Every structure is written in structure tokens, then in C-alpha cells.
Structure 1
Amino acid sequence: MSDATPDTYRAVSLTRLDRGSFRVTNAAGGTIDVGVTESDFTPVELLLAALAGCAAINVEELTSRRAEPTSFDVVSEGHKGRDDTGSRMTDLRLLFDAVFPEGEAGDAARAILPRVLAQTHDRICTVSRTVGLGSDVAYELAPEAP
């Protein structure tokens, strides 16, 4: 791990609940279930959720300074496929549907929306930038307990 300090370090833990079912827990105690059962999120769905969540948090924060949205929805989508190199997602896309009230404040929020989307894509959203730039993922075994 490079340049890991208390300010930059992020982690979640995953614990097996049952065959094909796991619980992810963050440092604050929040949980989400992931797996293959009908009620679990799949890992690919979590990836799509992370993309949508990261971008939505940034876009909402910047636009709502001008006006509170009357509705704010994001669809995160892509295609799961396989090629010579293995499984992966392609054609990832985030579709924002943000509606702001009529009037000067709503007009201001609508006006900055394209710029905010571009900034979020180009430099703000850690998740989409990591996916887009590609970051190596190390797979390691934990040391055996004595």
C-alpha cells in the first residue's frame, strides 16, 4: 500500500454469513449484504452503486448550494462481459436526472450542472477516476495465526 496514512486510509471488512452470502462493514458500523441470494447486492451492483453514489454526492453538494433539487436520481449502468482477458464491465454510464425548482436559484443550479458533471468525472469522484485510470489490486493471504 503506497502513501497510507490515517488521513488517507480507507477499509471495509467482509464476513461470510452463509454460502454465497457476505456482510460488508465499514469503520462506522454501517453494513450492506453482498452475495448471490435474491436479497443481496451482487459485487457488480455494488460497483455500480459506488460509481453512482460517489458522483451523486459530489454533484448534489455543488448544485444544492444554489437550489435544493425537487428530485435527484442517478442510474448507473453498464454491460458485464467476458473477453480474452477475463470478466469485466464495459460501457459504464451514469445518467443524472436532477430537477430544480423554477426561479433564479433553480436556474443557477441547472446552469452549473454540466460543468459540475464534467468536474466530477475529470477530477472529483474518487471511484470513477480509480476505475477509469485503472489501479492494480493486490490479492494477499493473511498471515497464519500462531
Structure 2
Amino acid sequence: MSSDDLRSITLTRHTKGTYEAENVRGGRLTFGDGGTSDFTPVELLLTAMAGCSAIDVDYLTSRLAEPTQFDVAAEAEKVRDEHGNHLGEVTITFTVRFPEGEEGETARVRLPDAVAKSRDRLCTVSRTVQLETPVSYVMT
């Protein structure tokens, strides 16, 4: 794996239930266990899935016409069963509107294909979940 392909973060505990992640570019994100308004890890996963697809769809459609509305929602039910805690089916909902006119119509026609391309090939985050990628835990 080349260093261009590696994605990584580091995580630091601030207090019980409050953590900060930092990426290699110096960006920081505080999150927690749900005891504050900070995002929880599950909410961050949903955000990552919706955000990844939003970027794909935005790049594929906004070059045709600037959207007048671009909202994406992600939701899933938390399940506790014989497989442990996990999410059920994740639903990502796009609400995207384009202006009237030829450019807007071209973008509207492209929208379903852009969403499908993101779902089926482009979005690294949701593709990783869909492909059931192995996760290793290591202690040092």
C-alpha cells in the first residue's frame, strides 16, 4: 500500500466519554458517548456515509447546474441481537433540487445515475460497509 492510499486518524481521550480525533492534515473533531451535544461514533458513521455520497453526487451534478437545494439524511436503527450491537439497514435520502431551465433539467436527469454510481462504486465509506471489510484490533 502506498502512502497516498493510506487513510488514518489518531484518537485522544480528553475525559471519560469525550474524545478527539485528528487527521494527518491537522483537522480535529471532538465526539463522545452521547452525554453531550457532540456526535457519537454511530452518528459519525452515518455522517461519513451521507457525506461521502453527497460529495460524489455534488461533483457529478453541480458541474451541470448549481443546486437550489442539496440535503442528505442518513438513518439506521440500532439493533441488539445474537450478533451483538450493530445497525440495521442504513437509508441515505437525497433531497436535491435544481433551477428551471435546460441546465437544471440536465442535472435532474443525471441525479439518479449519480446516486447509483456513488452507492455502487464511488463512495468508499458505504462501499466498505457493504463489502463487510474485516476490522483488526491490535494492542501495542
TM bucket by the smaller chain?
over 0.9
> Please, what TM-score do these two structures have when normalized by structure 1?
0.93
* Residue of structure 1 aligned with 2:21, choices 17, 21, 24: 24
Shift of 1:40: 1.4
Partner AA of 1:18 in structure 2: T
**Percentage identity across aligned positions?**
48
Which structure 2 residues correspond to residues 1-146 of structure 1 after superposition, within 5 A?
Answer: 4-36=1-33, 37-142=35-140
> Please, what TM-score do these two structures have when normalized by structure 2?
0.97
Distance between the aligned counterparts of 2:16 and 2:37, measured in 1?
A: 14
- Equivalent pairs counted in the alignment come to 139
User: What whole-Å deviation, never above 9, does each CA across 1:35-83 have from its counterpart, x for those lacking one?
Assistant: 1231211000000000001000000001001001111000010101111
Which aligned segments of 4 or more residues in structure 1 are displaced greater than 3 angstroms? none
What's the secondary structure of 1:91's corresponding residue?
coil
Structure 2's unaligned 5+ residue stretches are none
Distance between the aligned counterparts of 1:8 and 1:20, measured in 2?
A: 31
Shift of 1:108: 0.4
Structure 1's unaligned 5+ residue stretches are none
CA RMSD of aligned residues (A): 0.8
